[in-house]
Structure 1
Amino acid sequence: MDIEFEVKYGLDGVAVAISSISCVDGEKGKLVYRGFEIEDLIQNSNFEETAYLIWFGSLPNENELDFLISMLSKKRELPNQIIEMMKLFPKNSHPMEVLRSVVSMLGMYSKKENSTFENAINLTAKIPTIIAYWYRIRNDLPLIKPKESLKHSENFLYMMFGKIPEHFNLFDKALILHEEQGMNASTFASTVTASTLSDIYSIITTAIGTLKGPLHGGANEKVLKMFDEIGSIENVEFYINNLIEKKEKIMGFGHRIYKTYDPRAKILKNWIKEIFINNNIKYFEIALKVEEIVVNKFKDKKIYPNVDFYSGILYNYFGIPKEFFTPIFAMARIVGWTAHAMEYCKNNRIFRPKAIYNGPKNLKYKEVKGVE
């Protein structure tokens, strides 16, 4: 048959929106939020301030920042009915399954008159509570209620562990790294749902389901699983060579956009290196050896570590189990998802791409006669 359209599998290189939210320069290894390079924001900003920037397009003044912090802190608690339902979930449920389900349920408890932005604030405030409560429930620990006096990242760590660990500021900065990343798979999926003029809870449920995949947000969990399988630095070369021989994916390497070192991975690596000087950081030496071998073997293909390669090591340092890494990714990326949904709907057009049919033609129906 004659094919009139070129198929772009994975929509590779296809522009689907015009956005002022972020810029990902894959050739130079640059990530920019609303004109600010990520290194500048990491050095000087915090989660709430960066969230305001992504949502509104400019950094907040003191009153605007205080207002946002207050709104987030007041909306953290979940409805009691949802908490009781969470206690009935199977204890072996993956945290991403729980997050996806509870976000969907929250849509039934939202006020219909709320604006999209009010619902975005509501979800941004509640997602850390969902994650922390599930950690406590599955481990048969008493729930720790949110504290309005604590900032976003502080409160999350407090609700998880009952204390705020050393270097918690790096956790806050890691959330900034994950807040936004252009038109990635989960952002595109959420934008598709937004284009139907569906509600924000459906939009974010779509995004969470997409992020859950091991080729997207689920990769950080798989990276630590790989480190566990390697076991020691002496086994790295054999393990990597075995993966290459079997043509299996090496988790935490490569990126659809970055053709050089992912700037987020570089930042995370430097943080961990600084902590490593005075602490025994599990997996770090194995990670360095894996990076050395993989980058050397694939230097002609420009394959480098991505954000997932080092983020799990940092989260593990804080005592967070690897199944919770991807939900924490969602806890930050909710900002970018909602920003893109609101931006796209200002000039909305429902997505309707074309599929090229290559199935049979001109078949005739024949009645199926039963066997007597």
Structure 2
Amino acid sequence: MTINGVALDELIDAPAGLRSVVAAETRIGDVRGQEGFYHYRQYSAIELASACSFEEVWFLLFEGRLPDRAELAEFTDEVARSRSLPTELLPVLPAIAVSGRPMVGLRTALSMLAAARDLQPVWDSEPATRRADALLICAVAPTILAALHRLHRGLEPVAPRADLSTAGNWLYMLTGESPRPQATRAIEQYLIATIDHGFNPSTFTARVVASTGADVASGVIAAIGAFSGPLHGGAPDRALDGLDEIGSADRIDGWVSEKVAKGDRVMGFGHAVYRTADPRSVLLRAIGIELGGELVEFATTVERRVTEVLAELKPGRDLYTNVEFYAGVVMELCGIPRSMFTPTFATSRVVGWTANILEQADTAKVIRPSARYVGPRAPQPLPPRV
């Protein structure tokens, strides 16, 4: 007997959630959870966030190396030319924006853009064409998301400016106001720190779609669907909501105890990979402290006490803040509306998705695992027909 053409005695049972299963080889980056370390190519992601611009790291993921000054200038110009809102989407964006769910709107808009521009399957296209498609999607996604946000509120979209960076344009297109340099750099560091993070659910989804030879947009659209779930990219606003629920330092212990007693997840704490402090959270905490204010002071107090209470209630489990906890704090301090926290995350992660799609496109192997059937024994006779 076989399953998908594989003999039963040759099947390999994978752990739940495919934990620790190696599904592919990659040169893009890796996460070393036991060490609290992750990297893009051969460089520490946190060091890149501390020293580089978003465009430099974007180039690194696409090209495999950091750019020199001339290459960076050329790449930055290329991105700026691709940022404008596509004219094909102008008539339909208001209807897409009605729902007030920007990630859903982005999926729809990218699907329409792919059809209008006739993006070709990666199986049939040249590497240069795939890269151009990937860069277009990465450059225009923030513009679409910001436009959907403003249209839903009865405001006109704000066109991007060629003189602003990816992070600066994101803040400018959301608010219509020239961004503060400190806020721009804070968001830029956040974007760099979240470009890629191993074979997370959305990245794996993008690679599965790319393995079929589909076009770049299809892989990104599928990744957005996975990313929109609250257990993946959709948690920064929920973590900040938790701070609102707590309200004051004297309520921390009771709030955590109630969550644990109910079996509810404490948003912003714990991670599927890290067994030590999430390095992204460490970076964002430092950025938040530099921005300053009562929110940061309260967040650090909550972090310290929640970690202590969780250690008491869940002995043997090391639960630290993850990227969502301080991501929400930093975005709030920079003036980003909570409804746009997850979209902000997506404006960086789309670069990681497309880098993985481009890498997957260089292989010719379809990702096709098996499943073990556990339903009623088959075949059985059909019941009598009335």
TM-score tier by shorter-chain length is over 0.9
Which segment drifts farther, 353-362 or 174-183? 353-362
What is the aligned counterpart of 2:115 among 95, 108, 112? Answer: 108
Q: Which residue of 1 aligns with 2:124?
A: none
Q: Which residue of 1 aligns with 2:297?
A: 285
* Deviation readout 1:232-269 (Å, 9 max, x if unpaired): 33322211111011111000111111110010100000
Distance (Å, rounded) in 1 between the aligned partners of 2:206 and 2:88: 27
**Are 2:281 and 1:265 aligned?**
yes
Task: Judge conservation of contact 1:24–1:31 (CA < 8 Å) in 2.
Answer: yes
Task: Judge conservation of contact 2:100–2:149 (CA < 8 Å) in 1.
Answer: no
* Deviation readout 1:139-189 (Å, 9 max, x if unpaired): 212221111222211122111112212411111111100111111110001
Task: Tell me how far 1:325 sits from its aligned partner.
Answer: 0.9
* Consecutive unaligned residues in structure 1, runs of 5 or more: none
Task: Judge conservation of contact 1:240–1:290 (CA < 8 Å) in 2.
Answer: no
**Are 2:86 and 1:82 aligned?**
no
Task: Judge conservation of contact 1:236–1:286 (CA < 8 Å) in 2.
Answer: no
Task: Tell me how far 1:297 sits from its aligned partner.
Answer: 3.1
Task: Judge conservation of contact 2:145–2:343 (CA < 8 Å) in 1.
Answer: yes
Distance (Å, rounded) in 2 between the aligned partners of 1:67 and 1:111: 26
Task: Tell me how far 1:360 sits from its aligned partner.
Answer: 1.1
**Are 2:245 and 1:233 aligned?**
no
CA RMSD of superposed structures (Å): 1.9
Q: Which residue of 2 aligns with 1:364?
A: 381
SS of equivalent to 1:267: helix
What is the aligned counterpart of 1:135 among 149, 152, 166? Answer: 149
Distance (Å, rounded) in 2 between the aligned partners of 1:285 and 1:23: 32
SS of equivalent to 1:229: helix
Task: Tell me how far 1:90 sits from its aligned partner.
Answer: 5.5
Letter in 2 for 1:146: P
What is the aligned counterpart of 1:213 among 225, 229, 239? Answer: 229
**Are 2:107 and 1:95 aligned?**
no
Distance (Å, rounded) in 2 between the aligned partners of 1:143 and 1:220: 24
Distance (Å, rounded) in 2 between the aligned partners of 1:111 and 1:70: 24
Task: Judge conservation of contact 1:104–1:201 (CA < 8 Å) in 2.
Answer: yes
Task: Judge conservation of contact 1:24–1:30 (CA < 8 Å) in 2.
Answer: yes
Residue pairs, 1:1-372, within 5 angstroms: 5-89=12-96, 91-112=98-119, 115-162=129-176, 163-167=178-182, 168-276=184-292, 280-282=293-295, 284-299=296-311, 300-361=316-377, 362-369=379-386
SS of equivalent to 2:116: coil
Task: Tell me how far 1:32 sits from its aligned partner.
Answer: 1.1
TM-score normalised by the chain length of structure 2: 0.90
Task: Judge conservation of contact 1:47–1:173 (CA < 8 Å) in 2.
Answer: yes
Distance (Å, rounded) in 1 between the aligned partners of 2:78 and 2:23: 33
SS of equivalent to 1:108: helix
Which segment drifts farther, 58-67 or 134-143? 134-143
Task: Judge conservation of contact 2:96–2:148 (CA < 8 Å) in 1.
Answer: no
Distance (Å, rounded) in 2 between the aligned partners of 1:223 and 1:298: 16
SS of equivalent to 1:115: helix
Task: Tell me how far 1:112 sits from its aligned partner.
Answer: 4.1
Task: Tell me how far 1:298 sits from its aligned partner.
Answer: 3.6
Distance (Å, rounded) in 1 between the aligned partners of 2:274 and 2:385: 55
* Deviation readout 1:189-209 (Å, 9 max, x if unpaired): 100000000001110001111
Task: Judge conservation of contact 1:157–1:165 (CA < 8 Å) in 2.
Answer: no
Which segment drifts farther, 188-197 or 222-231? 222-231
Distance (Å, rounded) in 2 between the aligned partners of 1:95 and 1:55: 26
Task: Judge conservation of contact 1:99–1:127 (CA < 8 Å) in 2.
Answer: yes
Percent identity of paired positions between Structure 1 and Structure 2 = 33
* Deviation readout 1:108-161 (Å, 9 max, x if unpaired): 122547711101110111011011111211121222111122221112211111
Which segment drifts farther, 37-46 or 243-252? 37-46
* Consecutive unaligned residues in structure 2, runs of 5 or more: 1-7, 121-127
Task: Judge conservation of contact 2:85–2:159 (CA < 8 Å) in 1.
Answer: no
SS of equivalent to 1:32: strand
Distance (Å, rounded) in 2 between the aligned partners of 1:39 and 1:79: 34
Distance (Å, rounded) in 2 between the aligned partners of 1:91 and 1:321: 17
Task: Judge conservation of contact 1:222–1:251 (CA < 8 Å) in 2.
Answer: yes
Distance (Å, rounded) in 2 between the aligned partners of 1:69 and 1:90: 29
Aligned length: 365
TM-score normalised by the chain length of structure 1: 0.93
SS of equivalent to 1:250: coil
* Deviation readout 1:54-79 (Å, 9 max, x if unpaired): 11111111221111111110011223
Which segment drifts farther, 333-342 or 37-46? 37-46
